[in-house]
A and B are shown apart, each in its own frame.
Chain A
Amino acid sequence: MVATVETKQQVEEMAGEYKYGFTTDVEMEMAPKGLSEEVIRFISAKKDEPEWMLNWRLKAYRAWLKMEEPDWAKVDYEKIDYNDIYFYAAPKSQDKPKSLDEVDPELLRMYEKLGIPLREQEVLAGVEGAARVAVDAVFDSVSVATTFREELLKAGVIFMSISEAVKEYPDLVKKHLGTVVPQRDNFFAALNCAVFSDGTFVYIPKGVRCPMELSTYFRINAENTGQFERTLIVADEGSYVSYLEGCTAPMRDENQLHAAVVELITLDDAEIKYSTVQNWYPGDKDGKGGIYNFVTKRALCKGKNSKVSWTQVETGSAVTWKYPSCVLAGDNSVGEFYSVAVTNNYQQADTGTKMIHMGKNTRSTIISKGISAGKSHNTYRGLVKVLPGADGVRNFTQCDSLLVSSESGAHTVPYIEVKNPSAQIEHEATTSKISADQMFYCRARGLDEEEAIAMIVNGFCKEVMQHLPMEFAVEAQKLLGISLEGSVG
């Protein structure tokens, strides 16, 4: 492993700048600012949606109007003026491209700048023998390029933008959409239901092991545009899929709102592995700008013996509010949550998970690693809940916090609600500080300050990083180093 060397190079390349801080000059089409039924009708019409979809959105909107923005998280940000946001922006194009050759070269250049992993670039370039990773590239709010769709279809796998799925597979979408995260689940989820622009739909049929890892790159591009992604993944009986989500955003002065919803459903014996590397613009050194990342991610392990594994590496965003959760309904189902959250400068992260044990002999594992640098605040908030009928439940939770600076904060807020006496719940938590001794030891072996931090932090996060797919892990290791750049002192 030469991750730290790579990190160093990366850090040098960055030279103190946010690498992904650029905008792409693609003509945009926008809905008027603010939110109203008219705007929702506009979005729905733009996407040429069926009536039921529009009604579903409107219902969510009406519910949202009566809801309050949550304020229980340990985050502090300026109140969002929902009337000052564009809720829809799409690149202007007449027809959807049929292949990558037809994709706006400006967009492809952007992917290049984004440093989409070599493996994927090879795939995009059609290099023979290149490992196959399908990329459903989400550019602002509309999917503009989808690769490998046909090959996936051969395996019976459906992998497409959710707006296409609404039209092509209305029954499947109708059956599952909103069943894991209901419209009224929370303020941000309701908002997403009303205005979601696009996202991904995946369906893995019975007994199929998805032939490749599915990957989506999210990117926010237009100024003042909320990003409301919607992802729905359904793994039918005995199927398996690994899904990668990674994101970067251009530099902006004004805060941008992102309120995504991800729903996962596993039926009997099915498994979904969902990995995220989140690297949105965190704001500058003084805490100006940056993305508000208010995400609702939840999995329903509906079938028996099913499994959902969330792995996340969160390094970006000014404010993060995110709790990828598992509802373990099926007997013997398994939920896992592996998380690394890094905050630097003035970033605030309140993240964790909820494991709701409903079925018998359900098991969950939570490993959370929080790293706080600069003047940031990093909170783990988690719930382990065991319902009365759930016999033989087991949970193991480990929350470790690492403080890089003395002005940062690490907080751990575990909630445990057990209504069945047979449950075995374990919780371990540690907080430590990078020691001067560790730093000097690394430096006395030829590592500069940034490399030393990157190495120590990567070691701290190892238990989580090893759950990431290989090509993601390398990227994520670099990210950790980059995110902590300038945090020393």
Chain B
Amino acid sequence: MLKITDLHVHVDGTEIIKGLNLEVKAGEVHAIMGLNGAGKSTLANTIAGRDDYVVSKGSISYQNKNLLDLEPHERVGEGIFLGFQYPVEIPGVSNLNFMRTALNGVRKYNGLEAMSAAEFMKLVRTKAGDLKMSLDMLKRFVNVGFSGGEKKRNEMVQMALLNPKLAILDETDSGLDIDALKIVAEGINAQRRDDTAVLLITHYQRLLDYVQPDVVHVMIDGKIIKSGGKELALELEEKGYAAVA
């Protein structure tokens, strides 16, 4: 589904990703672990198409398309979803309006008719309910005044609505208490199907107790230096990155 070959990415003139290779197949959950500054978020943002992240070398193919040719919103239309590490506040824009615009944008990209307000409300109620998110939060402005946990849960509701093929979740587990972590993990597991893939970016193996990865990668200094099964995450936790690297 996703194939990254010899990827180099510059941000503000500094090379952050330095020759990264990664292949994710449909039906798989991959976890990328690494310390701060390893380039994990840069990788996530690059896949989603952030335009100030410059790909200086290498390629990303997604479902046999050259992903780098697509605009960020087109990537969303093609089924890529990025759950943000720091979801952004948009004052004055209601969460519901935001979500509906997003959903209908994706539907339009895929040649589907826009969803009516009533239909949308039904859908969003179900999805928000699954993630224990109150209707009140849906009516508030996007992420404004949300706690860290609420923001992450809000990302999960958006993911559930957009029903992506490839979900990239950037530190979605950080800042969550154990109950919220379980809810979010359920949301991720619900997204797990034969035709979808998930890329989890995380510091800790805590989330991996609830979402079992098929492959774990260790990322250091802009490269994946080691890959293995879920036992690698435990090893990392135990011995630290230095020992594993």
Docked Cα-Cα span, A458 to B142, in Å, equals 13
Contact indicator B84/A455 (Cβ below 8 Å)? no
Known: A5-B105, A442-B90, A444-B72. A455 touches B77 (CB 8 A): no
Residues of A contacting B73 in the complex (Cβ-Cβ under 8 angstroms): 443, 446-448, 451
Give A173 Cβ to nearest chain B Cβ, in Å: 42
Contact indicator B90/A456 (Cβ below 8 Å)? yes
Residues of B contacting A447 in the complex (Cβ-Cβ under 8 angstroms): 73, 101-102, 105
Residues of B contacting A448 in the complex (Cβ-Cβ under 8 angstroms): 71, 73
Known: A4-B101, A451-B105. A438 touches B88 (CB 8 A): yes
Residues of A contacting B162 in the complex (Cβ-Cβ under 8 angstroms): 445-446
Contact indicator A444/B82 (Cβ below 8 Å)? yes
Give B143 Cβ to nearest chain A Cβ, in Å: 9
Give B132 Cβ to nearest chain A Cβ, in Å: 22
* Nearest opposing residue in chain A for B72, CB measure: A443
Of A1, A2, A3, A441, which is within 8 A of B88 by CB? A441
Q: How many residues of A contact B (CB 8 A)?
A: 27
Docked Cα-Cα span, A56 to B43, in Å, equals 73
Residues of A contacting B98 in the complex (Cβ-Cβ under 8 angstroms): 445, 455
Of A272-280, A318-326, A460-468, the one contacting chain B is A460-468
Contact indicator A441/B76 (Cβ below 8 Å)? no
- A436 lies within 8 A of chain B by Cβ: yes
Known: A442-B90, A459-B90. A1 touches B97 (CB 8 A): yes
Docked Cα-Cα span, A460 to B48, in Å, equals 26
Contact indicator A455/B105 (Cβ below 8 Å)? no
Give A13 Cβ to nearest chain B Cβ, in Å: 15
Contact indicator A455/B101 (Cβ below 8 Å)? yes
- A437 lies within 8 A of chain B by Cβ: yes
A358-376 interface code vs B (CB 8 A; 1 in, 0 out): 0000000000000000000
Docked Cα-Cα span, A456 to B103, in Å, equals 17
* Nearest opposing residue in chain A for B77, CB measure: A446
Contact indicator B90/A5 (Cβ below 8 Å)? no
B39-79 interface code vs A (CB 8 A; 1 in, 0 out): 00000010011111000000000000000000111001100
Contact indicator B82/A459 (Cβ below 8 Å)? no
Docked Cα-Cα span, A4 to B104, in Å, equals 10
Of B52, B93, B94, B100, which is within 8 A of A436 by CB? B52
Docked Cα-Cα span, A459 to B158, in Å, equals 19
Known: A437-B88, A448-B73. A459 touches B93 (CB 8 A): yes
Known: A5-B114, A446-B106, A447-B73. A441 touches B87 (CB 8 A): yes
Contact indicator B158/A445 (Cβ below 8 Å)? yes
- A415 lies within 8 A of chain B by Cβ: no
- A22 lies within 8 A of chain B by Cβ: no
- A82 lies within 8 A of chain B by Cβ: no
Contact indicator A1/B94 (Cβ below 8 Å)? yes
Residues of B contacting A3 in the complex (Cβ-Cβ under 8 angstroms): 97
- A440 lies within 8 A of chain B by Cβ: yes
- B228 lies within 8 A of chain A by Cβ: no
Residues of A contacting B158 in the complex (Cβ-Cβ under 8 angstroms): 445
Contact indicator A2/B104 (Cβ below 8 Å)? yes
* Nearest opposing residue in chain B for A452, CB measure: B73
B202-229 interface code vs A (CB 8 A; 1 in, 0 out): 0000000000000000000000000000
* Nearest opposing residue in chain B for A462, CB measure: B92
- B109 lies within 8 A of chain A by Cβ: yes
Residues of B contacting A456 in the complex (Cβ-Cβ under 8 angstroms): 90, 93
Residues of B contacting A438 in the complex (Cβ-Cβ under 8 angstroms): 88-90
Residues of A contacting B86 in the complex (Cβ-Cβ under 8 angstroms): 437
* Nearest opposing residue in chain A for B80, CB measure: A444
Residues of B contacting A436 in the complex (Cβ-Cβ under 8 angstroms): 52
Residues of A contacting B45 in the complex (Cβ-Cβ under 8 angstroms): 440
- B141 lies within 8 A of chain A by Cβ: yes
Residues of B contacting A463 in the complex (Cβ-Cβ under 8 angstroms): 92
Residues of A contacting B87 in the complex (Cβ-Cβ under 8 angstroms): 441
Give A348 Cβ to nearest chain B Cβ, in Å: 26
A419-463 interface code vs B (CB 8 A; 1 in, 0 out): 000000000000000011110111111111001000110111111
Give A488 Cβ to nearest chain B Cβ, in Å: 10
* Nearest opposing residue in chain B for A7, CB measure: B101
Residues of A contacting B141 in the complex (Cβ-Cβ under 8 angstroms): 459
Give B142 Cβ to nearest chain A Cβ, in Å: 8
Docked Cα-Cα span, A463 to B141, in Å, equals 13
Give A438 Cβ to nearest chain B Cβ, in Å: 5
Contact indicator A460/B97 (Cβ below 8 Å)? no
Of B52, B76, B91, which is within 8 A of A446 by CB? B76
Q: What are 16 A-B pairs at a CB distance below 8 A?
A: A1-B97, A5-B101, A5-B108, A438-B89, A438-B90, A441-B84, A443-B71, A445-B98, A445-B101, A446-B73, A446-B77, A446-B103, A447-B101, A455-B101, A456-B93, A459-B141
Chain B residues proximal to chain A, CB less than 8 Å:
45, 48-52, 71-73, 76-77, 82, 84, 86-94, 97-98, 100-106, 108-109, 114, 141-142, 158, 162
12 further interface pairs, Cβ-Cβ under 8 Å (given A437-B86, A445-B101, A461-B92)? A1-B97, A436-B52, A440-B45, A440-B50, A443-B71, A445-B76, A445-B158, A446-B101, A456-B90, A458-B93, A459-B142, A460-B92
Identify the 5 closest CB pairs spanning chains A and B, nearest first.
A459-B92, A462-B92, A446-B105, A459-B93, A446-B76
